[in-house]
Structure 1
Amino acid sequence: MTDTTDSRGTAVPSNRLSRLWHLGRATGDLAAGVGFKGLIDIARTRNGGQPARIQLSPEHTRRFTERLARMRGAVMKMGQLMSMDGSDIFTPEAAEIMSALRDRSEPMPLSQLSRVLESEYGAGWNKQFKRLELTPIASASIGQVHRAETKDGRRLALKIQFPGVRESIDSDIDNLAFLGRSLGMAPKGIDIAPFLDEARRQLHREADYAAEADAMDAYRDRLGDDADFFIPSVHRDLTTPSILAMDFADGVPIDHLAGPDYRSAERDRAATLLMRLTLRELFELNLVQTDPNFANYLYDADSGRIVLLDFGATKPVSPELVEQFRNLARSAIAEDRDGVRAACVGLGYVGETDPKQHVEAMMDLLQMASEPLKHPGHYNFGTSDLFERVYHSGRDLFHSGVFTTAPDPETMFLHRKFMGSFMLSRRLRARVDLSEMARDCIGPMPS
Structure 2
Amino acid sequence: MSDTSFPPQDPERNRLTGRLARTAKVGANLSGAGLTFAAQSLFGGEQGDEKIARALAAALGKSKGPLMKVAQMLSTVPDLLPAEYAAEFAQLQAEAPAMGWPFVRRRMRAELGADWQGKFAEFGHEASHAASLGQVHAATLHDGRRVACKLQYPDMASAVESDVGQLKTVLGLFKRMDGSIDPTAMVEEIADRLREELDYAREGKHMRLYRDMLSGYDFVQVPDLIEDLSTDRLLTMSWLSGARLTAFEDAPQETRNRIAEMLFWTWWGPFNSHAVIHGDPHLGNYQVTGEGTGLNLLDFGCIRIFPPGFVEGVVDLYRAILADDFDASFAAYEKWGFVGLSKELVEVLNIWARFIYGPLLDDRVRSVADGVTPGEYGRKEAMSVRKLLREKGPVKVPREFVFMDRAAIGLGAAYLRLHAELNFYKLFNESLEGFSVEAVAKRQADALERVGLG
TM above 0.5, yes or no, is yes
Aligned to 2:442: none
**Equivalent residue, structure 1, for 2:429:** 439
- Secondary structure class of the residue paired with 1:105: coil
The separation in 2 between residues aligned to 1:186 and 1:319, in whole angstroms, is 35
SS at match of 2:396: coil
Check conservation: 2:69, 2:94, Cα contact below 8 A: no
Aligned pair 1:389/2:383, yes or no?
Answer: no
Q: Which residue of the partner structure matches residue 345 of structure 1?
A: 334
Q: Which residue of 2 aligns with 1:49?
A: none
In the TM superposition, what is the alpha-carbon distance from 1:376 to its structure 2 partner? 3.0
Give, in angstroms, the shift of residue 79 of structure 1: 1.2
Q: What is the rounded CA distance, in whole Å, between the counterparts of 2:170 and 2:350 in structure 1? A: 33
Matched with 2:308 is 319
Q: Which runs of 5+ in 1 are unaligned?
A: 3-12, 46-51
Q: Offset at 1:179?
A: 3.4
Q: Secondary structure at the match of 1:158?
A: strand
Of 189-198 and 263-272, the range deviating more from structure 2? 189-198
Alpha-carbon RMSD: 3.2
SS at match of 2:223: coil
* Secondary structure at 1:363 match in 2: helix
Q: Give the superposition deviation at 1:351.
A: 3.8
Correspondence 1:357 to 2:344: yes
Deviations 1:115-155 (A, max 9, x none): 21221122232122221112222222221111111223221
Secondary structure of 1:432's counterpart equals coil
Distance 1:180 1:37, change over 3 A: same
1:19 aligns with 2:19: no
Report the secondary structure of 1:245's partner residue. Answer: strand
Residue 67 (structure 2) aligns with? 75
Q: Tell me which residue corresponds to 1:423.
A: 413
CA contact (8 A) 2:180 2:389 kept: no
Q: Which residue number in structure 1 is paired with residue 7 of structure 2?
A: none
Cα deviations by residue, 1:244-291 (Å, 9 ceiling, x for unpaired) = 100000112223322x4x333322221221123322222113221111
User: 1:148-187 counterparts in 2 under 5 A?
Assistant: 148-182=139-173, 184=175, 187=178
Identical positions, percent? 24
Paired position in structure 2 for 1:8: none
* Letter of the structure 2 residue corresponding to residue 412 of structure 1: V
Report how far residue 442 of structure 1 moved. Answer: 2.7
The answer to whether the 8 Å contact 1:83/1:101 transfers is no
Match of 1:199 in 2: 190
CA spacing shift, 1:102–1:440, aligned 2, 3 Å: farther
Q: How far off its partner does 1:77 sit?
A: 1.5
Counterpart residue number, 2:40: 38
Cα separation, partners in 2 of 1:86 and 1:328, compared to 1, 3 Å: closer
Q: What is the CA–CA distance in structure 2 between the aligned matches of 1:367 and 1:189, rounded to whole Å?
A: 19
C-alpha deviation, 1:294, in angstroms: 1.3
Mapped partners of 1:223, 1:95: distance in 2: 33
Looking at structure 2, the residues matched to 127 and 157 of structure 1 have their Cα atoms a distance apart, in angstroms, of: 16
Residue 315 of structure 1: how far off its partner (Å): 2.4
1:67-102 CA deviation, whole Å, 9 max, x = no partner? 13xx32x2122111233358995776x855532325
Equivalenced residue count is 417
C-alpha distance in 1, partners of 2:390/2:198? 32
Matched with 1:64 is: 59
Partner SS state of residue 121, structure 2: strand
| DSSP 3-state at the match of 1:53 | helix
Q: Partners in 1 of 2:254 and 2:262 — Cα distance?
A: 12
Return the letter of the residue paired with 1:287: V
Q: Secondary structure at the match of 1:439?
A: helix
Q: 2:124 aligned to 133, 137, 148, which one? A: 133
CA distance in 1, matches of 2:290, 2:158: 40
What are structure 2's unaligned runs of at least 5 residues? 3-14, 436-454
Distance apart, 1:107 and its partner CA: 1.3
* Structure-2 residue corresponding to 1:257: 248
- Distance in 2 (CA, whole Å) between partners of 1:239 and 1:286 is 27
Shift of 1:345: 3.0
What letter corresponds to residue 235 of structure 1 in structure 2? Answer: I
Task: Specify the SS of the correspondent of 1:160.
Answer: strand
Report the TM-score, using the length of structure 2 for normalisation: 0.82
Partner residue of 1:10? none
Q: What TM-score does the superposition give when structure 1 sets the normalisation length?
A: 0.83
SS for the counterpart of 1:394 is helix
Q: Distance in 2 between matches of 1:113 and 1:142?
A: 14
What CA distance in whole angstroms lies between the structure 1 residues aligned with 2:229 and 2:431? 38
Change (3 A) 1:343 1:97: closer
Is 1:55 matched with 2:90? no
The aligned amino acid for 2:432 is I
Matched-pair contact (CA < 8 Å) for 2:271–2:311: yes
Residues 55 and 90, structure 1, Cα contact 8 Å, conserved in 2: no
Q: RCO (CA 8 Å, sep 6+): is it higher in 1 or 2?
A: 2
Distance apart, 1:304 and its partner CA: 2.3
Structure 1 runs of 4+ with >6 Å offset:
none
82 and 360 in structure 1: CA distance in 2 versus 1, 3 angstrom threshold: closer
Shift of 1:409: 0.8
Q: Distance in 2 between matches of 1:292 and 1:418?
A: 8
Contact 2:225/2:238 (<8 A) preserved: yes
Q: After superposing the two structures, state which structure 1 stretch, 224-233 or 337-346, moved more.
A: 337-346
Structure 1 residue 300 displacement after superposition: 1.5
1:377 matched residue in structure 2 = 364
Report SS of the residue matched to 1:381.
coil
Give the aligned residue type for 2:352: L
